[in-house]
Amino acid sequence: MFSFIGGSERVFGLDIGFETLKLCEVSKSTSNGVELWGISEYTLTEPILDRDRIRDKAATANMIKEACRKASPHPIKARKIVTALPETFVFSKTIQVPKMSSRELDTAVPNEAAQYLPIPLSDVYIDYQILSTHPEESLMDVLVAASPKKLVDDYVEMAKMADLELAALETKPIATGRAIIRDKTKSIAVVHIGTELTRIAIWDRGNIRLVTTASSAKNQILEKIYSIKPGIKDISEINLNSDQETFGVVFNEIIDEVLDAIRYYQNRSYKPNPIDYIEICGSAAKIKGVDNYFSKATKIQSKVSSPLITNKKTLEPQFIPALGLALRKI
């Protein structure tokens, strides 16, 4: 999304969530894979972000320093970070424009995006990515991302306070896809069920084609489950494999959003490929049987994402965005 520095120096990924900070540093292995150097999860007592700013940059910087020290199996030593802007503070939209050069797009995209932005164009940073072209119509689909300048500037300043350098900012759907999509010949729906928001991204042949969100997420799911089964106290006690009829209904809002996104994508004029499978990640992906329920409800093979790390069999699903952020510079 937004790059600030170049070079190949090691970085770590920083995922700022509603409840935790998640950090991940990796390095290239001798077998052309990726080795985990250190991961860390720091529990927040209150949200870090407030509207278009970081509430307390100095306090956040100190939390990051502590999380780096407590990472395992090794403390995080990288001095450059790649982090993600939360979707609630990022405006993103897929627009169609006539085919044109990159130089022409640099002018056309902000002008086209301005009519959709909720705040003045002068108050945002804009980046874009070409998603696809329409040979028969001389058009191209472009994913536009715009973020408040104040928030981006706060991220830069916060990094400096933590004695770090901000290498890049991007969105979680792009980072998530980078971490889990290995077969770039397939069409995949990636469903990241976070704490307060579910992110749905459609990937085709290794390229992101569509991004949308659903308001139902882990906290809403757990609230409904606790009301149905008051005796359950922890996410680890929920098992959809043993009781899909009781628990499965709480996922139906997300299922509907996923199917709507797939239908919208497949109705595009350039006739995209059918979805081969669904990848599920995020903190709610730890619920037992969520993959089986998605497979049954969508009639599309679904699985919980488990990216391979050469020195660790799998990585827990809540760390996948942080891994994808760390992989940006690998």
> What CATH class has 183-304?
alpha beta
The answer on pLDDT for 133 being more than 80 is: no
Is it true that the peptide bond before 73 is cis, omega within 30 degrees of 0? yes
Tell me, what amino acid is at 36? L
Percent of the chain beyond pLDDT 70? 93
Lowest mean pLDDT among 91-95, 220-224, 295-299: 91-95
Q: Which residues of the chain are in CATH 3.30.1490.300 domains?
A: 90-148
Q: What is the mean pLDDT of residues 50-62?
A: 92
Q: Which residues of the chain are in CATH 3.30.420.40 domains?
A: 2-87+150-175+313-327, 183-304
For 121, 165, 178, the CA distances from 277, given in Å and listed in that order, are 38, 37, 16
Total residue length of the chain: 330
Helix (H), strand (E), coil (C) string for 162-209: CCCEEEEEEEHHHHHHHHHCCCCCCEEEEEEECCCCEEEEEEECCEEE
Q: What is the mean pLDDT of residues 125-142?
A: 80
pTM of this structure:
0.87
Q: What is the mean pLDDT of residues 252-273?
A: 87
Domain 2-87+150-175+313-327 has CATH 3.40.50.720: no
pLDDT tens per residue, range 193-207 = 998 889 999 999 888
Whole-number pLDDT of residue 206: 87
CATH number of 90-148: 3.30.1490.300
Percent of the chain beyond pLDDT 90? 55
Give 153's pLDDT tier (boundaries 50, 70, 90).
Answer: very high
Q: In the beta sheet, which residues pair with residue 201?
A: 190, 211
